[in-house]
């Protein structure tokens, strides 16, 4: 080789990247160094941790007994008593390193004994829970625990929630005391490695032990209620863990007696001072930044900034503090950095930001720079000086989709970094200079809660129960068959942000991440878990709480336990990968052992399913790095939708915080594998579930009646309802159907049981109807049903006869075709298969679909109301209840609603030439059914009768829809003032955010719900039938032949009074109408802006005021029928 050619090759080689895997495709995978779990009996959480010298200090909270047990990579198990036998079991271990209960001691079995004054479970009660500081050595072995008891200020734990002390309740309210300390740092920078500072919020009395055992009480007597943010005060405390004693505690500079405050992050400085940030609510509130003298806790200075929000992440170097959160401003100079404007929406939105302050002065924080990332929220900022690439900050958070450039203010002397982001995955990870905030690199990632670095690698983590998308080719799903909550971690190169891998961390149950910190052994993730066990690499740890509660290996324990795991900085090649020369899992040279697949970060044997995607199977003869699936559908064990394998019979996740999972919506692959199915015997109102229902789970599971249970706000919906009052039991949906709180929009669909010896008339009614019945045939069944209702007595099977004519026999008939609302139910199953074709019930569902009065799975609101009332009629006839007459009236009213809808739809067809003849025939058929069953206004009835008698469709005109709708709406069937409720608790033993016990193993609604009753109460106004029950035809024709699409009514409206409500229209148009009134049935209006041809057809000109105005509201929109005109004679 010549010298020139050799030089060229060397130059090219200098520009080639180092050989490494494609992003997220590294063969090497994470391995756990150690994992620790609360093995005592009680709920517990790890909220934060810091390594200081050779110890790791974990801050959290505990209820009941707390006892951490740690499994190490070499297989040994250690707890507070030292190294324990292997295998460790319930019989070989002790579980009482710390008892958190103030009111009681756990004994007598898994449920413990009563606690305090209100019979609470000591393993979970809020009364007497402890703030805990657990000391571990750097290998994870438990050493000691420091605790801070939390109680009401006055010690009253009877659960009475009343501001008046004379009522006997605590000054802190029925919930008593509460504490949350989510932030921790050590004083190692200042030379005191065993001193730590914790920050958070509390209500009630905190009792801090001094080193001599004396307790120091720190009180907050605020009443806990939503109006004052539950009465929390921010609090910061310094603890000497070398002597297990309080140094100082304070809320100074962070609170107001009238509003809530909370300290969210804390850091110490090299001079031994403490900086805390957090939120102060109220008119003068914002995000506070406060400096405390580390020696005595006195406030040095405090400032509050309304321009900042969600300051949840902080780190420090010397006297410099780095904070991340949100900034919103449109030209503020509050930070001394010039005129700052948030990048998001040109100053109208909030940016994810990180900023630096010099906290060394005595007069306040001195901002030195601010880096803006884009529309989003900063969550994590971490300093790293180790490794190979100098001193930088690693930042992470959430980011809305949209192009953005990371920008530092003031502009760094070397210029802005070339860092752009898109937000397409919901988050970001970036590396910036600590001295000026200049961006080195930035990466689109999923939303991250925390990110840490050892200088060579960066780990970013979050949690959730949905699949996490890292890029177009990499999606990570939670572990376990039920898609429960997991932690998600990804590892990146620190020098350029290139991804190594992404993985779910957790078992088959729920894992939630609260924090991540860097230790000498690797990144430490912490939070809670209720899984049966946890495995990563060669390490496996079992959950003794799970075993104690007798849970199966494939189900969560239901009791959250403090959990933490440390990952090795050095990844390992999984044992089933036999060769990986390039480091890339998908390289052709990478080989997997015979009869095994490697996918989803696991070695999977032939025929086995993925630990995280249970409907994907290893078939190694097809592929060894991909799985076969999804295996879902009829006869299979799973549904597959939203990129999740959902086990058969699993209930849909709760809609409102604290409720149990749904008892009526389930995965049934035999019905549909692409969405949820409704369990037989139920109906479901999604609008109620999202925007009206109350939260906090079944009252029985909360130790009391339903009074006061719906107290949490809704999480879903665009216009959530007001918080429920403490004595509120039920609320109505937009059609007046009452639902008890905490039902998730589920309610039993009543049925009318048939007698063992049916009469011949009943046999005739139960006979299968004509499948494609005409309107007249459906009307004949309806007429028979009405007659049966009117004549029903205790002895003539009248209620049963009416139900049979309405429903026929679903066990023998041909079922109706689906009539679900396609725009609402995309993949979810439709419930139409439960009704017989050719019946009034099937007709009700079909009409409801057209008028927007269907509930989510296709049940007509009218059908539900008919069945409720028929079931009550059957019962009340047997018992002689005095409301029988009213119930009969209401049954007939709702049986007729679909006939009204059909007549209005037919009238709409009459307005178009091509469909006028068919529309007229349909209208006449519907009118024949309706006219003698309702007490109409005589004039209105004459108009409707004349229209039905029209012999020539060419004489109909083009305003029939508006005429018929107007007249029918003001002549609704007579209904009572009864309000009906199905009084039931859907999941009597349900726990918040858990499946209802027994719901997944039962086939029908009544199998799990226990006692339930339909009741009717007389109220002051007519509520059972309103215009909302009729809805609004989704597409209708206007006078000019154009179509206008209108949405169904969004809220229940009161019945309209006789005549049309007043509105306004243009003066010129009103004048034209006034002049035309009573003169002609066909006329033209010409105004300065438009002209209109008005044709009333054979009905007559006397309806100009009443009918024409109902759809002519302006000169430019003559068919907005919802805004009638008011006519003024000029």
SS3 track for 906-920: HHHHHCCHHHHHHHH
For the ranges 347-356, 774-783, 943-952, 1036-1045, which has the lowest average pLDDT? 1036-1045
Tell me phi and psi for residue 409, to 5 degrees: -130, 130
Check pLDDT > 80 for residue 364: yes
Window from 105-119, 680-694, 1088-1102 with minimum mean pLDDT? 1088-1102
Q: Residue 20: is its pLDDT beyond 70?
A: no
**Residue found under tokens 């002549």:** 971
**If you average pLDDT over residues 822-849, what whole number do you get?**
77
Q: Nearest Cα to 263, choosing from 249, 247, 280?
A: 280
Angle subtended at Cα 905 by Cα 903 and Cα 910, rounded to the nearest 5 degrees: 90
Contact 399, 426 (CB under 8 A): yes
Per-residue pLDDT of 467-495, as tens digits, reads: 899 999 999 988 876 667 899 999 999 99
pLDDT of 258 reads 87
Distance CA 880, CA 795 (A): 12
The predicted model gives 27-34 an average pLDDT of 96
* Parallel/antiparallel/unpaired status of strands 130-137 and 142-151: antiparallel
For residue 354, the cross-strand partners are: 324, 371
Residue 1115: pLDDT over 60: no
pLDDT (average), residues 287-312? 97
The whole-number average pLDDT for the span 978-1000 is: 64
Quick check: 85 pLDDT over 90? no
| Cβ-contact 278, 288 below 8 angstroms | yes
- The 3-state DSSP class for residue 952 equals coil
- The residues that bridge with 268 in the sheet, in sequence order, are 274
Look at residue 75 in the predicted model and tell me its pLDDT. Answer: 86
Query: Which parts of 717-861 are beta strand (E)?
Result: 730-732, 738-740, 746-748
| Mean pLDDT score, 762-783 | 91
Give the alpha-carbon dihedral of 1071, 1074, 1079, 1083, to 10 degrees.
50
Q: What are the backbone dihedrals phi and psi of residue 770, each rounded to the nearest 5 degrees, phi first?
A: -65, 130
Query: Rounded CA gap, 156 and 689, in Å?
Result: 35
The least confident of 530-534, 876-880, 1051-1055 is: 1051-1055
pLDDT at 459 over 90: yes
pLDDT class of 103 with cuts at 50, 70, 90: low
Phi, psi of 889 (to 5 degrees): -60, -40
Question: Is it the case that residue 534 has pLDDT exceeding 80?
Answer: yes
Q: In percent, how much of the chain has pLDDT > 90? A: 54
pLDDT digits (tens, 9 = 90+) for 909-921: 999 999 999 999 9
Report how far residue 1028's alpha carbon sits from residue 1036's, in angstroms, rounded to the nearest whole number: 17
| 1098 has pLDDT over 70 | no
C-alpha atoms less than 13 angstroms from C-alpha of 115 in its C-beta half-sphere: 25
pLDDT band, residue 996 (cuts 50/70/90):
low
* pLDDT score at 920: 96
Please say whether the beta carbons of 1027 and 1055 come within 8 A.
yes
pLDDT band at 116, cuts 50/70/90? Answer: low
Task: Tell me which DSSP letter residue 412 carries.
Answer: P
Tell me what the mean pLDDT of segment 670-685 comes to. Answer: 88
φ, ψ for residue 447, nearest 5 deg = -55, 130
Helix 916-930 / helix 775-791 crossing angle, nearest 10 deg: 10
Segment 585-604, tens digit of pLDDT: 999 999 999 999 999 989 99
Confidence of residue 404 (pLDDT cuts 50, 70, 90): very high
pLDDT band for position 898 (cuts 50, 70, 90) = very high
> Contact at 8 Å (CB) between 373 and 430?
yes
CA distance 77 to 875: 64
Question: What does DSSP assign to residue 1051?
Answer: S
Say which range, 292-296, 319-323, 692-696, has the weakest mean pLDDT. 692-696
Q: Say how far apart CA 579 and CA 577 lie, in whole Å.
A: 6
> In whole angstroms, what is the distance from residue 234 CA to residue 252 CA?
9
Task: State the chain's mean pLDDT as an integer.
Answer: 82
Query: Which range has highest mean pLDDT (103-107, 351-355, 1100-1104)?
Result: 351-355
Give the whole-angstrom CA distance, residue 55 versus residue 240.
13
DSSP string for 628-681 = B----STTSSEEEETTEEEETTPBPPPSSTTPPPPSSEEEETTTEEEEEEEPTT
| Residues 209-226 pLDDT 10s | 999 999 999 999 998 876
Beta bridge partners, 572, equal: 29
Give the model's confidence band at 87: pLDDT under 50 very low, under 70 low, under 90 confident, else very high. low
pTM to 2 decimals? 0.77
pLDDT digits (tens, 9 = 90+) for 695-751: 544 433 333 333 333 333 333 334 445 666 656 667 788 888 888 777 788 888 888
d(CA 464, CA 488): 8
- Which segment, 383-392, 655-664, 884-893, is predicted with the most confidence on average? 884-893
Torsion sign (Cα): 679, 685, 690, 692? negative
Find tokens 């019989």 and name the residue: 91
**How much is the pLDDT for 698?**
40
Mean predicted confidence (pLDDT) in 525-531? 95
Whether 900 and 1030 have beta carbons less than 8 Å apart is answered as yes
Mean pLDDT of all residues in 552-568: 88
Of the candidate ranges 231-235, 536-540, 862-866, the one whose mean pLDDT is the lowest: 536-540
Is residue 378 a contact partner of residue 392, using CB atoms and an 8 Å limit? no
Would you say how long the chain is, in residues?
A: 1130
CA distances from 418 to 406, 421, 449 (A): 8, 10, 24
Could you tell me if 694 and 710 are in contact, meaning their C-beta atoms sit under 8 angstroms apart?
yes
pLDDT tens digits for range 245-276: 999 999 999 998 889 999 999 999 999 999 99
Provide the 10 A C-beta neighbour count for residue 889.
Answer: 20
pLDDT-derived band at 1058, boundaries 50, 70, 90:
very low
Provide the β-strand partners of residue 651. 666
926 to 175, 575, 771, 829, 843: CA distances (angstroms): 58, 73, 19, 31, 12
What is the pLDDT averaged over residues 1041-1049? 31
| Residue 462, pLDDT above cutoff 70 | yes
Residue 1078 pLDDT exceeds 90: no
Greatest Cα pair distance in the chain: 113
The model's confidence at residue 778, banded by pLDDT at 50, 70 and 90, is very high
Q: What is the pLDDT of residue 19?
A: 45
Q: What is the CA radius of gyration of the chain?
A: 35
| Structure tokens given for 751 | 């049925």
Torsion of CA 700, 702, 705, 707, to 10 degrees: -140
Which stretch of 129-133, 405-409, 640-644, 1125-1129 has the lowest confidence by average pLDDT?
1125-1129
107 HSE (CA, 13 A, CB side): 3
Tell me the three state secondary structure of residue 586.
coil
Give the pLDDT score at 1036: 65
Are 378 and 342 contacting, i.e. CB atoms less than 8 angstroms apart? no
Q: What are the residues whose beta carbons fall under 8 Å from the beta carbon of 214, sequence distance 6 or more?
A: none
Using the predicted structure, report yes or no on whether residue 69 has a pLDDT greater than 80: yes
Using 50, 70 and 90 to split pLDDT, how confident is the model at 131?
very high
Whether the pLDDT of residue 107 is over 70: the answer is: no
């Amino acid at each position: 080789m010549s010298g020139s050619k050799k030089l060229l090759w060397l130059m090219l080689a200098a520009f080639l990247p180092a050989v490494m895997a494609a992003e997220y495709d590294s063969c090497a995978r994470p391995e756990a160094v150690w994992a620790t779990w609360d093995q005592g009996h009680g709920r517990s959480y790890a909220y934060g941790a810091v390594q200081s010298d050779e110890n790791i200090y974990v801050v959290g909270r505990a209820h009941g007994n707390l006892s951490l047990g740690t499994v190490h990579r070499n297989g040994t198990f250690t707890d507070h008593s030292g190294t324990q036998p292997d295998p460790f079991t319930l019989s070989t271990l002790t579980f009482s390193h710390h008892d958190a209960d103030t009111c009681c001691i756990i004994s007598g079995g898994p449920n413990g004994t009563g606690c305090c004054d209100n019979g609470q479970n000591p393993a979970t009660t809020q009364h007497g829970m402890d703030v805990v500081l657990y000391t571990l050595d750097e290998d994870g072995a438990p050493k000691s625990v420091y605790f801070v008891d939390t109680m009401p200020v006055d010690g009253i734990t009877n659960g009475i929630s009343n501001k008046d002390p004379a009522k006997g309740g605590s000054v802190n309210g029925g919930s008593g005391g509460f504490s949350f300390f989510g932030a921790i740092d050590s004083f190692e920078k200042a030379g005191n490695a065993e001193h730590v500072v914790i920050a958070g919020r509390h209500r009630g009395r905190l009792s801090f032990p001094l080193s001599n055992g004396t307790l120091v009480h720190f009180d907050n007597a605020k009443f806990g209620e939503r109006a004052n943010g539950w009465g929390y005060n921010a609090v910061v405390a310094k603890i000497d863990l070398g002597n297990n004693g309080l140094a100082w505690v304070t809320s100074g500079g962070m609170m107001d007696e009238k509003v809530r405050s909370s300290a969210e992050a804390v850091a110490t400085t090299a001079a031994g001072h403490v900086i805390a940030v957090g939120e102060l609510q109220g008119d003068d509130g914002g995000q506070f930044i406060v400096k405390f003298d580390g020696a005595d806790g006195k406030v040095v200075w405090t400032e509050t900034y309304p321009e900042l929000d969600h300051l949840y992440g902080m780190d420090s170097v010397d006297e410099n503090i780095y904070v991340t959160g949100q900034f919103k401003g449109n030209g503020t100079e509050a930070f001394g950095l010039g005129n700052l404007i948030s990048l998001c929406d040109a100053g109208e939105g909030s940016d994810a930001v990180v900023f630096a302050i010099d906290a060394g002065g005595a007069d306040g924080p001195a901002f030195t720079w601010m880096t803006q990332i884009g529309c989003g929220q900063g969550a994590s900022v971490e300093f790293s000086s180790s490794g190979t690439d100098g001193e930088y900050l690693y930042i992470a958070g959430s980011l809305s989709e949209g192009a953005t450039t990371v920008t530092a203010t003031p502009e760094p002397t070397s210029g802005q970094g070339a860092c752009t982001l898109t937000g397409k995955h919901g988050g970001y990870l970036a590396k910036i200079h600590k001295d000026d905030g200049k961006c080195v690199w930035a990466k689109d990632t999923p939303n991250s809660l925390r990110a840490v670095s050892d200088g060579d690698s960066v780990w970013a983590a979050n949690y959730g129960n949905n699949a996490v998308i890292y890029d177009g080719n990499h999606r990570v799903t939670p572990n376990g068959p039920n898609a429960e909550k997991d932690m998600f971690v990804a590892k990146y190169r620190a020098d350029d942000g290139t991804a190594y891998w992404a993985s779910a961390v957790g078992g088959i149950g729920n894992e939630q991440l609260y924090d991540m910190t860097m230790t000498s052994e690797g990144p430490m993730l912490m939070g809670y878990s209720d899984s049966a066990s946890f495995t990563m690499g060669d390490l496996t740890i079992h959950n003794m709480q799970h075993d104690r509660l007798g849970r199966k290996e494939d189900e969560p324990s239901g009791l959250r336990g403090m959990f933490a795991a440390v990952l090795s900085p050095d990844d390992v090649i999984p044992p089933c990968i036999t060769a990986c020369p390039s480091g890339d899992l998908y390289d052709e040279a990478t080989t997997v052992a015979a009869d095994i697949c490697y996918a989803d970060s696991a070695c999977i044997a032939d025929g086995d399913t993925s630990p995280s995607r249970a409907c994907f199977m290893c078939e190694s003869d097809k592929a060894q790095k991909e799985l076969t699936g999804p295996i879902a559908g009829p006869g299979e064990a799973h549904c597959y939708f939203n990129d999740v394998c959902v086990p058969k019979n699993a209930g849909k996740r709760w809609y409102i915080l604290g409720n149990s999972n749904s008892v009526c919506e389930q995965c049934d692959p035999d019905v549909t594998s692409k969405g949820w199915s409704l369990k037989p015997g139920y109906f479901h109102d999604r609008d109620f579930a999202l925007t009206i229902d109350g939260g906090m789970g079944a009252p029985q599971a909360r130790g009391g009646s339903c009074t006061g249970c719906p107290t949490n706000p809704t999480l879903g919906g665009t216009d959530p309802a007001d918080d429920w009052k403490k004595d509120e039991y039920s609320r109505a949906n937009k059609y007046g159907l009452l639902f008890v709180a905490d039902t998730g929009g589920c309610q039993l669909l009543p049925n009318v049981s048939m007698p063992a010896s049916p009469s011949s008339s009943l046999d005739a009614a139960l006979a299968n109807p004509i499948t494609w019945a005409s309107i007249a045939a459906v009307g004949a069944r309806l007429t028979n049903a009405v007659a049966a209702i009117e004549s029903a007595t205790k002895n003539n099977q009248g209620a049963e006869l009416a139900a049979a004519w309405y429903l026929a026999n679903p066990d023998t008939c041909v079922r109706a075709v689906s009539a679900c609302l396609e725009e609402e139910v995309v993949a979810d199953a439709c419930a139409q298969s439960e009704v017989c074709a050719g019946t009034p019930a099937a007709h009700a569902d079909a009409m409801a679909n057209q008028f927007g009065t269907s509930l989510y799975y296709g049940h007509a609101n009218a059908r539900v109301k008919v069945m409720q009332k028929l079931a009550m009629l059957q019962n009340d006839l047997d018992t002689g209840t005095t409301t029988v007459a009213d119930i009969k009236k209401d049954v007939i009213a709702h049986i007729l609603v679909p006939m009204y809808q059909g007549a209005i739809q037919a009238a709409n067809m009459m307005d178009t030439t091509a469909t006028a003849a068919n529309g007229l025939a349909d209208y006449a058929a519907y009118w024949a059914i309706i006219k003698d069953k309702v007490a109409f206004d005589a004039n209105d009835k004459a108009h409707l009768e004349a229209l039905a008698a029209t012999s020539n469709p060419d004489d109909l005109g083009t305003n029939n829809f508006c005429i018929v709708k107007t007249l029918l709406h003001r002549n609704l069937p007579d209904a009572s003032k009864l309000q009906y409720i199905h009084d039931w608790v859907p999941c009597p033993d349900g726990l918040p955010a858990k499946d209802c016990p027994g719901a997944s193993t039962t086939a029908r609604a009544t199998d799990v719900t226990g006692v339930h009753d339909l009741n009717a109460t007389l109220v002051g106004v007519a509520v059972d039938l309103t215009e909302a029950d009729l809805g609004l035809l989704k597409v209708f024709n206007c006078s000019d032949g154009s179509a206008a699409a209108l949405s169904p009514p969004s809220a229940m409206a009161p019945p309209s009074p006789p005549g049309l409500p007043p509105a306004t229209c243009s003066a010129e148009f009103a004048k034209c109408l006034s002049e035309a009134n009573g003169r002609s049935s066909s006329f033209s209006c010409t105004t300065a802006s438009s002209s209109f041809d008005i044709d009333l057809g054979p009905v007559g000109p006397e309806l100009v005021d009443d009918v024409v105005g109902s759809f002519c509201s302006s000169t430019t929109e003559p068919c907005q029928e919802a805004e009638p005109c008011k006519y003024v004679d000029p």
